[in-house]
A = this chain, B = another copy of it.
Amino acid sequence: MTTISAGPGAAEPAGVRHVKRPTPLRESVYEALTEMIIDGTLERGRHLVEVELAGLLGVSRQPVREALQRLNNEGWVDLRPGFGAMVHVPAEDEVDQLLAARAALESESARLAARHASKDDVAKLRELCKVGTAYQEAGDIDATVRTNGELHSLITQMSGNRFLVDFAAQVDRRVRWYYTPVAPVRGAASWREHNRLVKAISEGDEDKAAQIMREHTEHTRKAYHDLQAAAEPAAAPEPEAAPRRRRRTT
């Protein structure tokens, strides 16, 4: 995630329509790699070799390098000089810290959103709440998760603060990576909270909005912990072979 940058998707002076500019390769590579990390194709701890990825994606080393460096800056991979990149292995306390950071960022966003909310925004929020709840009740997990993401993203954008937007997006993506298995569990409660949140925003009640958002995130963290604690005793997962570098292919 580019820390600061308009990007072609961002808001532009109305009416300006840039012709299709082919995305820089490094961008596509970056996208492809995060994708593969999130969906598990590149499993945690795996040694990523530049030429290998280059071959896989049909590009040369350079764009791959650039993408890897960005991934490193954003914590998706760890770059060890002279050795290469390994897919990041999240530490025990990392999800916790991530969720704490998210609480701060999104709570502040909610406060500012409440301050600046336009009629239009509120309408969109209400709509998202409605469809989200519907999905949830229908048991469509994927759609629910997606809608949840859209709702949160819209709120941060409503803050009008591009730094908050950017940091929150960064954190959010990481959270979703670690956290996917937990997401479904607390569906119903989550959407009740969303509704209260949107209400507070529409009323312009900053403190209340910030407060609700903070509790909302806090509940999420709690849910993660409970799930973790429940899974703990059961799982003493594979002895986890050290990240061996494969020997010659000959």
A interface with B by C-beta (< 8 Å) = 1-5, 21, 24, 26, 65-66, 69-70, 72-75, 78, 81, 88, 97-98, 100-101, 103-105, 107-108, 112, 160-164, 167, 170-171
Given the known A-B contacts A21-B81, A24-B81, A112-B100, are A73 and B3 also in contact in the complex, defined by CB atoms under 8 Å?
yes
Say whether A100 contacts B164, CB under 8 Å: yes
Instruction: State the 8 A-B residue pairs at the shortest beta-carbon distance, nearest first.
Output: A4-B75, A104-B108, A101-B163, A97-B161, A3-B74, A3-B73, A2-B73, A3-B75
Say whether B5 contacts A101, CB under 8 Å: no
**Distance of A154 from chain B, by nearest CB (Å):** 18
A104 in complex: contacting residue of B88, B98, B105, CB < 8 Å? B105
Say whether B97 contacts A2, CB under 8 Å: no
Say whether B3 contacts A170, CB under 8 Å: yes
**Distance of A11 from chain B, by nearest CB (Å):** 13
Say whether A101 contacts B2, CB under 8 Å: no
Residues of chain B with a CB closer than 8 A to A26's CB: 69
**Distance of A69 from chain B, by nearest CB (Å):** 6
**Distance of A167 from chain B, by nearest CB (Å):** 5
* Bound: A70/B4 CA distance, A: 11
In the complex, what residue of chain B is closest to A67 when comparing beta carbons? B69
Apart from the given pairs A5-B72, A97-B160, A100-B163, 11 other A-B contacts in the complex at a CB distance below 8 Å:
A1-B73, A3-B75, A4-B74, A4-B88, A21-B81, A24-B81, A65-B66, A69-B69, A97-B161, A101-B164, A103-B108
